[in-house]
Chains A and B, each alone.
Chain A
Amino acid sequence: MLRLKKMSQRQSIYGWLLLSPAMILLTTFAFYPSMATFWSSLFSRGTRRKPSKFIGTDNYTDLFADPTFWKVLTNNLIYAGATIPISIVIALSMALWANSKIPARSFIRTAYFTPTVLPMIAAANLWLFFYTPGFGVLDQIGSLFGLPSVNWLGQPETALFSIIVVTIWKEAGFFMIFYLAALQTIPEDLKEAADIEGTSRWYYTRRIVLPLLMPTTLFILVNALINSVKLIDHLFILTKGGPNDASKLLLYYIWEMAFAFFDAPHAAATTILVLAALGIIAGIKFTILDKRTHYQ
């Protein structure tokens, strides 16, 4: 009995020792910074004359009173609302195609997946070519049809849309991979049974394949939600959030406040709001989605 207790004590020590590097790093770069961000969001911005002092939720009230914040939030919602469904639908079609018996299948797969391995910065450089007014590819194609030159990135109506297109281009191929994997786990006999019954391909896809892909779709959805916060690198090259904040997204806004305007308290308050949103996504994932998949 005593020996058993000693053994489990020793096991405990080993366990914590093995976890310690991870826990130290996670505390230093995730847990502590989250707390510190919350804490500093409650203080005013210190200047040489006025040292920073505790102001409660004033930073948050400032944000809610600031039309730029609402503009950026709306932009990000549009960004999420457009990139997520469109890239999921494109990813699904890509996967269905790349999984069917069509000519040039390996070329098609490679083509779909390639943008995934490029840095967002490089992707933005490639797309500059398409968007530049006057001699950009889109304008040249437009001029063939007699359309006027459009400054895609330079006018508020099209800037966010142009950013969205690049994001979809970048992430659809990545999501395709997950669908492709799921498709390959669907047993062949289901298709055979459907063929014997004489069901149409469309019916088979809609009633059998799509329901079976549901867990994958949910997995992709969570990833896409996170991406809609994270994927902002191309803003640095293409629009810098402009013109007039028309294409500014939350994470870029945080970066700009903290590192261009040196307004750390408001950046912290915005960060806390983003973390709260991510927390809600996490909550949904761990409660609803994990009922379907179990990690054991």
Chain B
Amino acid sequence: MKFFLRNIEALGAILLAIIWVSPLLYAFWAAFHNTSDAVNFNIYGEWTLDNFKIAWDGAPWLRYFLNTFMLVTVILIGQFFVTTLAGFAFAQIKFPGRDFVFILVLMQLFILPEVLIVENYAMVSRLGLFDTILGVGMPYMASAFGIFLMRQAFKGVPYELHEAARVEGCGWFGILWRVYVPLARPTYIAYALVSVSTHWNNFLWPLIVTNTPDTRPLTVGLSIFGAPENGVDISIISAATMMSIAPLLIVFLIFQRQFVQAFLRTGIK
């Protein structure tokens, strides 16, 4: 009894963990069973791949995967470019007006792109980027969060290295590229993980800006596939859900430590 009491906390922790993964585990199990077995909890039901086959044939998943992949790549490249330059300017170059602009950038942390959907939609259409992957990605490239992160990383680089590179004859760009960027590598990796997982999962904005299967990312494709109007049954929805989360989930489970570190590094200033 005493042993039990001492471990009641451990039990609580494990119980919560089981509750927390159960929706995922259940859907995983259901994805491999036919609907009647799944809804009746028939543990002895036969395992089958039929749901995956039906789901796979029901929508252009390969295209969706490709779109999502291109989307996160485009966003990441854009973000790296924009935030590196701006972060460097904010961290290491002194010029009038800098601090004022920095406050403007910080303000953007709270003007969520999600809230400005109406005008951003108008803007993207005006630029002729409606229903393009670039149109989905562009509003996220000048991420205030990323600029802030890069500024912090660059501030941590010892100024002696900067001086040394200058004495060696490096220009601004050379110093940035050879000294700052390599030293900020951990920050880049962390930022990349956070950015990729955020945009892999993003939904509302891509829903608004995409209109054809040629640009639609996975999340939007999944929501259309699973819409009740389509009358797809729940085991097949599970299979489709499993398919679309599998890549990110597998990467996460393998690189769990790095993921957690990444979220930490980017979250706590």
Contacts and interface: CB of A to CB of B under 8 A. Distances in A.
Q: Do A and B come from one complex?
A: yes
Interface of A: 8, 11-12, 14-16, 18-19, 21-26, 28-34, 36-37, 40, 90, 93-94, 97-98, 100, 102-104, 107-123, 125-130, 132, 135, 137, 140, 169, 173-174, 177-178, 181-182, 216, 219, 226, 229-230, 232-233, 236-237, 251, 254-255, 258-259, 264, 267-268, 271, 274-275, 278-279, 281-282, 285-286, 293, 295-296
Interface string B18-40: 10110110110010000000011
Nearest to A140: B41
Contacts of A34: 111, 116, 119
A21 B252 contact: no
A18 B119 contact: no
Category for how many chain B residues contact A: 35 or more
Contacts of B40: 135
Nearest to A215: B268
16 contacts: A12-B95, A14-B172, A21-B82, A26-B144, A29-B113, A33-B123, A34-B119, A40-B118, A102-B14, A119-B219, A126-B24, A126-B27, A129-B26, A255-B117, A258-B117, A282-B110
B112 to A, nearest CB: 6
A282 B109 contact: yes
Contacts, number: 269
Interface stretch (B57-65, B157-165, B242-250): B242-250
Contacts of A97: 9, 12-13, 16
A282 B222 CA distance: 34
B138 A254 contact: no
B98 A121 contact: no
Contacts of B268: 178, 181-182, 216, 219
Contacts of A132: 234
Contacts of B115: 229, 251, 254, 271, 274-275, 278
Contact of B226 (A21, A125, A259, A286): A125
Interface SS of B by simple majority? helix
A177 B104 contact: no
Contacts of B207: 236
B116 A271 contact: yes
Contacts of A169: 20, 23
Q: Which of A22, A102, A120 has most B Cβ within 10 Å?
A: A22
Contacts of A118: 24, 201, 245, 248-249
B111 A30 contact: yes
A33 B116 contact: yes
A285 B106 CA distance: 11
A288 B207 CA distance: 37
B147 interface: yes
A273 B251 CA distance: 40
Nearest to A25: B142
A117 B252 contact: yes
B1 interface: no
Contacts of A117: 197, 201, 248-249, 252, 259
A181 to B, nearest CB: 5
Contact of A108 (B17, B222, B226, B264): B17
A177 B260 contact: yes
A25 B93 contact: no
A8 B119 CA distance: 39
B120 interface: yes
6 closest A-B pairs by CB: A25-B142, A33-B119, A119-B201, A111-B17, A15-B95, A97-B13
